[in-house]
């Protein structure tokens, strides 16, 4: 049995860049030594990794754990085909199906942690009907899971800001109780007042020193117009490096050449993007964004909720979806999709000491794969999950 603070010595670990397996020494929640510098001390727990590949802990930079039915009854999908239909359906049914449920949120966090996710950014509904109850339930579940998974909340106005009076002041309260970002949703297509919504959320974020993460489903020209507006607001308010646009389907359909000015604007303002590669929705172009210097994270989006019956919180599988939907076949391209679920996500969450270097937090996953591309393609069962130096999953025994 691995004691809480017992140092850990992993033998025969394969590092992504190396042919030969090596050793990793972990103590006090950090990576203390890699390779030749390392030797087991008496009292270390030793694990023979048998050549398994080492990956950093996975980052789910866009999910909605407050809405999940995970661990609850099967919930048949009843919404119409559009975003507005799903919002209306959720508004009608969510309290009947027990939203928000602390037990289900916790069950999902356990599932995510067991699959190697060590940090998430989750968008929690905030509106006059539910108030801050979703925020409270997620915070309580996260507190119960301290040391296994770290949770950041976005105060998310799923039902709009302008069209739902009272929401803006609740967003403020949500940040005061711990949300690290203010959300937004289709300022034009859903709220029907793009300037009104952007003014409200950028005003709040500046006032409260919080980040911004906006859901943008609006397609085509309407979407592109809003991307440009968000770039403009980011510049005007000095929010460079603190804004994320989630989904941004419009950037998955507009030819890159046409969007060239927009890509430059996103890179200059250091706006991050997230994709979930869901259904037949446009997926953000991984290689184009990488070459343009734009940070792309990925996430599960909704998992088993009133928006969709799908999802399991497995970020290695999600990276596969991102790669597959992007038509990525070469190893170096598939690695970019894994980057979205690891290093790029860590950038969005503002994590320090993330990675596989000496001194980094010991958040890591071992999988039976020969290289990163195979890890994504096969997304095999996790052999070992370590969070803050503590063993979460050990399938070597
Ligand atoms: Zn979402």
- Which of these, 370, 387, 341, lies nearest to 15 by C-alpha position? 370
- Which of these, 282, 268, 270, 239, lies nearest to 344 by C-alpha position? 270
Residue-level pLDDT at 255: 75
Same domain for 28 and 79, yes or no, is no
Same domain for 65 and 139, yes or no, is yes
Burial of 178: CB neighbours in 10 Å, binned 0-12, 13-18, 19+ = middle
Contact, 263 vs 291, CB < 8 A?
Answer: no
Ligand 1 center to residue 273 CA distance, Å? Answer: 12
Please, what is the average pLDDT of the chain? 95
User: pLDDT tens digits for 60-107?
Assistant: 999 999 999 999 999 999 999 999 999 999 999 999 999 999 999 999
Residue-level pLDDT at 37: 52
What pTM was computed for the model? Answer: 0.97
Same domain for 252 and 219, yes or no, is yes
The residues annotated with a catalytic role in the active site are 247
Ligand 1 center to residue 198 CA distance, Å? Answer: 18
- What's the pLDDT band for 217 if we cut at 50, 70, 90? very high
Same domain for 156 and 253, yes or no, is yes
Ligand 1 center to residue 99 CA distance, Å? Answer: 17
Same domain for 155 and 27, yes or no, is no
For residues 361 and 352, give the distance between their C-alpha atoms in angstroms, rounded to a whole number: 8
Instruction: Assess if residue 140 is contained within a domain.
Output: yes
Alpha-carbon torsion (42, 28, 18, 55), positive or negative: positive
Strands 181-185 and 211-216: parallel
Contact, 204 vs 172, CB < 8 A?
Answer: yes
Ligand 1 center to residue 372 CA distance, Å? Answer: 27
Same domain for 94 and 231, yes or no, is yes
Same domain for 199 and 168, yes or no, is yes
Number of domains in the chain: 2
- What's the pLDDT band for 312 if we cut at 50, 70, 90? very high
Angle at 318 between CA 314 and CA 321, to 5 degrees: 145
Instruction: Assess if residue 86 is contained within a domain.
Output: yes
Ligand 1 center to residue 307 CA distance, Å? Answer: 10
Ligand 1 center to residue 246 CA distance, Å? Answer: 7
- Ion ligand 1: residues, CB within 5 A, are 301
**Domain residues for 67?**
58-349
- Which of these, 261, 255, 364, 350, lies nearest to 297 by C-alpha position? 350
Ligand 1 center to residue 42 CA distance, Å? Answer: 48
For residues 221 and 122, give the distance between their C-alpha atoms in angstroms, rounded to a whole number: 28
Same domain for 191 and 222, yes or no, is yes
Instruction: Assess if residue 223 is contained within a domain.
Output: yes
Spatial CB neighbours of 36, under 8 Å, sequence gap ≥ 6: 22
What is the Cα 276 distance to its own chain's centre?
A: 9
User: pLDDT tens digits for 328-374?
Assistant: 999 999 999 999 999 999 999 999 999 999 999 999 999 999 999 99
């Amino acid at each position: 049995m691995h004691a809480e603070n017992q140092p850990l010595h992993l033998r025969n670990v394969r590092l992504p860049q190396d042919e030969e397996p090596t050793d990793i020494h972990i103590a006090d929640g950090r990576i203390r030594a890699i390779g030749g510098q390392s030797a087991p001390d008496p009292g270390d727990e030793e694990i023979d990794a048998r050549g398994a590949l080492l990956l950093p802990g996975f980052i789910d930079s866009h999910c909605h754990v407050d809405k999940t039915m995970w661990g609850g009854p099967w919930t048949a999908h009843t919404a119409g085909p559009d975003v507005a239909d799903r919002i209306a359906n959720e508004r009608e049914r969510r309290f009947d199906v027990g939203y928000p449920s602390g037990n289900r949120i916790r069950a999902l966090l356990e599932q995510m942690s067991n699959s190697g996710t060590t940090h998430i950014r989750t968008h929690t509904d905030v509106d006059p009907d539910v108030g801050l109850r979703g925020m409270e339930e997620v915070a309580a579940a996260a507190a119960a899971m301290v040391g296994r998974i770290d949770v950041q909340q976005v105060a998310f106005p799923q039902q709009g800001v302008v069209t739902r009076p009272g929401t803006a002041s609740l967003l403020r309260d949500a940040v005061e109780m711990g949300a690290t970002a203010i959300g937004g949703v289709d300022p034009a297509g859903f709220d029907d007042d793009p300037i009104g919504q952007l003014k409200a959320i950028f005003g709040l974020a500046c006032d409260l020193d919080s980040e911004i993460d906006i859901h943008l489903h609006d397609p085509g020209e309407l979407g592109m117009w809003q991307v440009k507006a968000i770039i403009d607001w980011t510049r005007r308010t000095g929010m460079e490096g603190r804004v994320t646009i989630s989904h941004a389907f419009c950037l998955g359909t507009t030819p890159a050449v046409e969007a060239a000015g927009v890509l430059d604007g996103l890179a200059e303002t250091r706006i991050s993007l997230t994709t979930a590669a869901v259904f037949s929705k446009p997926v953000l172009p991984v290689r184009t964004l990488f070459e343009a210097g734009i940070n792309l994270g990925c996430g599960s989006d909704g998992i088993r909720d009133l928006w969709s019956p799908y999802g399991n919180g497995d970020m290695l599988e999600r990276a596969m979806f991102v790669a597959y939907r992007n038509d990525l076949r070469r190893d170096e391209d598939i690695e970019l999709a894994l980057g979205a679920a690891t290093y790029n996500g860590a950038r969005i969450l503002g994590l320090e000491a993330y990675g596989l270097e000496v001194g980094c937090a010991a958040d890591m996953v071992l999988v039976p794969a020969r290289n990163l591309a195979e890890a994504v393609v096969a997304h095999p069962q996790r052999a070992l999950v370590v969070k803050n130096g503590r063993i979460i999953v050990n399938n070597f025994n």
